[in-house]
Structure 1
Amino acid sequence: MYTLSQWQTNGQFIDINANQIFTKTAGDANNPALLLIHGFPSASWDWEGMWDELSKHYFLVTLDMLGFGLSDKPINAPYKITEQADLYTQFLKRLNITDVHILAHDYGDTVAQELLARQVATKSEIRINSVCFLNGGLFPHVHKPLFIQKLLLSKLGWIVPKLMSKQKFVKNLTTIFGKNTPPAPLVIDTLWALLIFNNGLRVMPMLIKYITQRKQNEQRWVGAIINSDIPVTFIAGEQDPISGKHMLEHYKKKVPNARVQGFVELGHYPQIENAKAITVAYLNFRKQI
């Protein structure tokens, strides 16, 4: 397992739109590019367990989105999903990548849906060749946010950062992991460190508005999956109370010829809970296509 300082090694801070963004690449640049898009409220470190194995097959590209992880967390940014999608597009262009596969999780699923929607509408500067979604709110009305997420979204949202402690964070985190795959102490310490880095707690009430944006853009973002002409799959930990088995079942109903894989014993963070199994599942998906 990579510690945060090990993860940061070989990463680079680059300036995008006057913000310092933490970025990381690995593998042979001649291999197909794979873009890894992290979730809320974590960062690119979420992919550390899959990183080494995937880098043998692909040129890996990732970053910490604005407001997350080691990147800048400006208090006055609008934190729109469309702007996070722009961030990835700009980074890929700097790397001269025009063709990419995407592996996304949680909040990152929504960013991937926006990127896919641009391609469906033929307004994309980057060609996406496949998308793999991990647990996330692909269908907004089926998504079941935690109480703390609802509180963050409410008028009282500004109170949450003031009351949030590591102990409360651990309690919430543990409820979304699988019963037999709880977060290890290193996972807890790292996710907490990433959250509070650069005074990150204070931007959470702005970041959480992605839940509202999902509802506002439901037609566009759900349509992107249904109308896409590229291979798309959904791999999910079924014990996740937010977007687990119920999301998987709904996905199967709504997406024509749906490719899905459920992991009965895993929760909301399948790539952390069992990195090896999720890596195998992802590589199998790529073999099939």
Structure 2
Amino acid sequence: MLIHPSHDACAQTWPTPWHQSGFFHQYHHDGITRQIYINHKQSNKPCLLLIHGFPTSCYDWKPMWLTLAKHFHLITLDLLGYGLSDKPSNVDYSFSLQANIIEDVLKHQGIKEFHILAHDYGDTVAQELLARHGQLGNNGVFNIKSTILLNGGLFPETTRPIFTQKILLSPVGFLVAKLFSFKKFIANFNHICYQKIPVADLAIHWQLIQHNQGIDVIHKVIQYIRERQINRQRWVNALQQYPQPLRLINGICDPVSGQDTLMRFEQLIEQADTIALLETGHYPQIENPHAVLVHCMNFWRQHKMIKFAEVEP
């Protein structure tokens, strides 16, 4: 389709049916057109926007996709610098830019009301969207009906980047990135996830990271860690002032944003709605997708957002 597979562990399964079903959106900015990969499942049901984390892509949502599609009009995308989307070297990969891209995608799809399910880096993109549109009637462009967040750096003071992230942030980050390998990628995933992810699945994620010379810009993308510190108050305020239903589902065995992040959420968010997932690390939607689905569905049912049957076992 769009990628010529390399001779690695995922070559035999590439491209996946997931990627064959997607399409590209053209995002125009400063006289340049960027290609943004979109996957969606259209229906007349309420819209659910899924926002992925670092350093992976919207393929993260595949384990939950078919079940969610029974109850939602789904839309997700590879953010700029991720997955199949463009990965330019001359861009400031800010959360503001990523939110602008999402807004452009939603406008072109004719979507004005939606729910959010986000993870990791996507949590902060969601916080930026909430800062812009979370208050009812603030500008009349979008109505974010509810928000569910999975493990992510919501609060810089409780987020602990792993060693690889720290060195990517350093002045020699661009050199360090060139030393990355699939073996190191697996080691990092094994460190942040409590449940081991099959190597075949990790190979597909690695292929997507490498696509479009992604390794060459990963040190630029990861500057988001500093941006979270600078804009902490704006994005914490967005959560505190959000009037619609909000839930945090957190794998508490996550060494990056686990138990401490959940506790900080409960301290800072009035009447905080939190779910602690045992024996689950940084990627709940991949490690423990059924549990995430159950707690998401219960949340939407509780707030009468949609009607549906129980999640299938």
Q: TM-score range by the shorter chain?
A: over 0.9
Structure (1 or 2) with the larger CA radius of gyration: 2
Deviations 1:31-64 (A, max 9, x none): 1000000000000000000000000000000110
Distance 2:108 2:266 in 1: 37
Shift of the alpha carbon at 1:272? 0.3
- Tell me the CA shift for residue 281 of structure 1: 1.1
8 A Cα contact 2:134 2:143, kept in partner: no
Match of 1:173 among 176, 184, 189: 189
Where 2:210 maps in the other structure, the secondary structure is helix
Tell me which of 180, 184, 193 is aligned to 1:164.
180
Amino acid at match of 1:12: F
Task: Tell me, yes or no, if the aligned pair for 1:115 and 1:124 is still in contact at 8 Å.
Answer: no
Report the TM-score, using the length of structure 1 for normalisation.
0.96
Q: Deviations over 1:147-183 (max 9, x none)?
A: 11011111121112111111111111110001xx101
The C-alpha deviation readout for 1:189-239, integer Å capped at 9, x for no partner, is 011111101110111111001111111110100100011111111001111
Normalising by the residue count of structure 2, what TM-score does the alignment of the two structures yield? 0.89
Question: Match for 2:130 among 116, 120, 126?
Answer: 116
Structure 2 CA distance, aligned partners of 1:108 and 1:282? 17
Is the contact between residue 45 and residue 72 of structure 2 (CA under 8 Å) also seen in structure 1?
Answer: yes
Any idea what the Cα deviations from partners look like across 1:99-146, whole Å, max 9, x if unmatched? Answer: 010000000000000000012462462110110000000111111100
Tell me, in whole angstroms, the C-alpha distance in 2 between the residues paired with 1:227 and 1:157: 36
Give, in angstroms, the shift of residue 186 of structure 1.
2.0
Give the aligned partner of residue 81 of structure 2.
67
Unpaired segments ≥5 residues, structure 2: 1-12, 304-313
1:73: Cα distance to partner? 0.5
User: Which residue is equivalent to 1:6?
Assistant: 17
For residues 79-228 of structure 1, the aligned pairs below 5 Å read 79-120=93-134, 122-123=138-139, 125-178=141-194, 181-228=195-242
- Distance across 2 between alignment mates of 1:61 and 1:120: 19
5+ residue gaps in structure 1?
A: none
Q: Which residue number in structure 1 is paired with residue 69 of structure 2? A: 55
Structure-1 residue corresponding to 2:37: 22
CA distance in 2, matches of 1:103, 1:120: 14
Runs of 4+ aligned residues of structure 1 deviating over 4 Å after TM superposition are none
Equivalent residue, structure 2, for 1:33: 47
The structure-2 alpha-carbon separation of the partners of 1:62 and 1:141, relative to structure 1 and needing over 3 Å to count, comes to same
| Percent identity of equivalent pairs | 43
> 1:4 touches 1:190 (CA, 8 Å); kept in 2?
no
Go from structure 1 to structure 2 and tell me whether the alpha carbon gap of 1:171 and 1:19 turns closer, same or farther (over 3 Å shift): same
The residue type paired with residue 241 of structure 2 is N
- Does 2:263 align with 1:249? yes
CA RMSD of aligned residues (A): 1.3
Separation in structure 2 between the aligned mates of residue 105 and residue 14 of structure 1, nearest angstrom: 22
2:134–2:144 Cα contact (<8 Å) kept: no
Alignment check: 8 A CA contact 2:47 2:72 kept:
yes
1:265 aligns with 2:279: yes
Give the partner amino acid of 1:149.
Q
Does the CA contact (< 8 Å) of 2:145 and 2:244 recur in 1?
yes
Note if contact 1:239-1:268 (Cα within 8 Å) is conserved in structure 2.
yes
Residues 27, 57 of structure 1: 8 Å contact kept:
no
